[in-house]
Structure formats: structure tokens, C-alpha cells
Homo-oligomer: A and B are copies of this chain.
């Protein structure tokens, strides 16, 4: 669903059915940066639990945040013209993200699936399964960062 939305937006710049607020480029970039940072916080929390003392409740909360954001339709924030500009800071997106439709859609779909899987296994409290799912999710983050984020660090 996410990849469909992303592709639809990237390919045609038309909006899906339903009401959308007009999104300014600077807001779109700020919200993207905010959503990724919120997921980064959550990933760090999960890592601390996987590497240290495991607390199911902590991991569930963090995994639910990642899942909700992954399913939020963030593709809508890649508005035309937002390959450059400043939200909280200058965007680090590479222009290729806006033109590599199918490849980006695949990465987005993998990310979405991995986020749903992590939330699912987090709810079971199975720390080993969480570690595996967490690693897979991190791989999908890296796949996008490697190809579509400048100054990767």
C-alpha cells in the first residue's frame, strides 16, 4: 500500500482520493525528518533491549511507533520540488529517489513488511525473534540510506 502510494505520487504527482492539506515543501521535509528521527529513537530503544536487558513493554512501544509511521503513507511527503530545501535542516535526499520509482517502491515495500513483522514478534515477547526482525528492518533502512541519502553517516 505504501509503495503503491509512493509510486503513484512519484509517477503522476496526483493525489489519492480524500482530503489532503496542501503540503508546503519545507513542511514536507520537516515532517519527513521528524518521522525518521522518531523511528531512529525507537530503533535505538529496541537495540538497547536486544543488546542488554530485555523489557517486552519497552520493545512493544517502540515497535508500534515504527509500525504506525511505516504504515502512515509517508510517500505523500515526497512532494514535487522537495528534492531540495530545508525542513529542520537541509534535506539529504538524493534526487534519484524521485525518479527510481520501481526500485524505491520495492525498498518502501520491504521496509513496510519488516516493520509489520517486528511489531508482530515484539508482541510475543520473543527476544530472539525480535533480534532477527530488528536486523531485517535495519537492513531495509540501510538499503534506502545507501542509495538515496547524501552524506551517509
A interface, CB within 8 angstroms of B? 16-21, 27, 30-31, 33-35, 37-38, 40-42, 44-45, 47-49, 51-55, 57-58, 61-62, 64-65, 67-69, 71-73, 77, 88-89
Interface of A: prevailing SS: helix
Name the B residues within 8 Å of A45 (CB-CB). 20-21
Complex CA–CA separation, A52 to B27 (angstroms): 20
Q: How many copies does the complex hold?
A: 2
Name the B residues within 8 Å of A62 (CB-CB). 72
In the complex, what's the smallest C-beta–C-beta distance from A39 to chain B, in angstroms? 9
In the complex, what's the smallest C-beta–C-beta distance from A22 to chain B, in angstroms? 9
* Residues A35 and B31 in contact, CB atoms below 8 Å apart: no
* Residues A48 and B65 in contact, CB atoms below 8 Å apart: no
